[in-house]
Amino acid sequence: MNSAIITCAPTGAIHTPSMSPYLPVTPEEIAAESLAAAAAGAAIVHLHVRDPDDGHPVQDVGLFRDVLAMIGQQSDVVINLTTGGSPHMTVDERIRPAMELAPELASLNMGTMNFGLYPMLDRFTSLRHDWERKHLGNKALIFRNSFEDIERILRTCGDQGTRFEFECYDTSHLYNLAHFLDRDLVRPPLFVQSVVGLLGGIGADVEDVLHQRRTAERLFGDQFEWSVLGAGAAQIRSAAVALAVGSNARVGLEDSLWDGPGRLAESSGVQVERVRAIAEALHRGLATPSQARDRLDLRGRS
């Protein structure tokens, strides 16, 4: 089996600072978490940024630029910028950092969906900032990713040489990706990230995970690299399934705050170490950033 490409997402747009004291907020914290994840074995870091004062998700190009500079001084890890941002943002806001910074890799959500974060309010009742309750409690939240939006991002960022991590939250999103492949708006090898366990998308049962793989194999043959992102408690279990069948995995505090039942993860690097141990137990190595670039056909740092 190929070595496993591990992606780490050290912060994101789902969790809030009141949920965990370990969630990085400032550019310095996000960069430090990214470097620790790379040192633990992550070949790719998937980046969001936050307002340094209250921690709400933002798409501030200056903050992204700061994080990229700090990481680039110490590591050749592949940088993957979000174009998802937050469901509360407009598409213009979401794509601006990737448009201005032209990363070698960017995430791209492959379909519109309900986005249910409100059950988290049952667990996290003490919130420090007004925005946190509004962010989590919206039962009418729809994450817009229309065909028009997707095509716009593909053309705008793709013309700059950026490749994509296609985030697929349900089986229909795989078919959406196949549609764009048929139209020659994307080209292999496709980096398919199956997202499981988030309310509004496909579940995280083992059969759900494997159904995603079977569908991708039917649609894309050998023209894709498959990875799995499990939300919350499903993170390590879903990663283990992906690694066991020869594929790749994503972990990090963006997707799960936990390092076991009732135990907060003190860093994303800890979660990378968990999946590294699983990969090694399966006699699989971890891909280096250079190997990940080759397999995903990325243009490189320059």
- Domains (range + CATH), the chain: 6-116+143-296 (3.20.20.70)
Mean pLDDT of 31-59: 98
pTM for this prediction: 0.97
Q: Give the pLDDT confidence score for residue 125 in this predicted structure.
A: 87
Nearest to 80 by CA among 223, 293, 238: 293
Nearest to 6 by CA among 33, 39, 35, 45: 45
Pseudo-torsion of CA 298, 83, 52, 76, nearest 10°? 0
Per the rule left: phi > 0, alpha: psi between -120 and 50, beta: everything else, 267 is: beta
SS3 88: coil
| Residue 239 phi, psi (nearest 5) | -60, -40
Q: Which amino acid, one-letter code, is at 78?
A: V
* Tens of pLDDT, residues 165-176: 999 999 999 999
Q: Is the pLDDT of residue 209 over 70?
A: yes
Q: What is the DSSP string of 142-211?
A: EE---HHHHHHHHHHHHTTT-EEEEEESSHHHHHHHHHHHHTTSS-SSEEEEEEES-BTB---SHHHHHH
Instruction: Write the DSSP symbol of residue 133.
Output: H
